[in-house]
Amino acid sequence: MGRILCRATLSALAIFLVSTLLASPIDAGTAQTSAKSGSNLSSILEPASGALLGLFYGAGGVEQTALKLGRTPPIHLTYYRWDADWTGTVTQADLAAGRIPLVNWEPHNIDFAKIIDGSLDATILARANGSKALGKKFFLDFAAEMNGDEAWSGNNASLYVLAYRHIHDLFVAAGATNVVWAWCPNVTDTAGGNRTTMDYYPGDTYVDWTGVDGYNWGTKNGGWQTFHEVFRNIYPLLAAKKKPILIGEMSSAQRGGDKAQWIDDIIPTLRASFPLIKGLVWFDINKEADWRISSSPESEASFIRMANDPYFNP
CATH number at 7-312: 3.20.20.80
Half-sphere exposure of 276 (CA within 13 A, CB side): 19
What pLDDT score does 2 carry?
41
3-state secondary structure (DSSP) of residue 107: coil
Element housing 62 (H / E) = helix 62-69
Q: 51: which DSSP letter?
A: -
Strand 245-252 relative to strand 277-284, pairing: parallel
| Cα–Cα dist 61/23, whole Å | 10
Give per-residue pLDDT as tens, 121-173.
Answer: 999 999 999 999 999 999 999 999 999 998 898 999 999 999 999 999 999 99
pTM attached to this predicted model = 0.91
Q: CB of 1 within 8 A of CB of 189?
A: no
Mean pLDDT in order along the chain per 10 residues (314 residues): 46 49 42 54 97 96 96 98 96 98 97 98 98 98 95 94 98 98 97 96 98 97 96 98 98 98 98 98 96 98 98 90
Positive/negative CA dihedral, 272, 273, 276, 277: negative
Closest CA to 29 of 98, 95, 85, 80: 98
The residue extents of the domains of the chain are 7-312
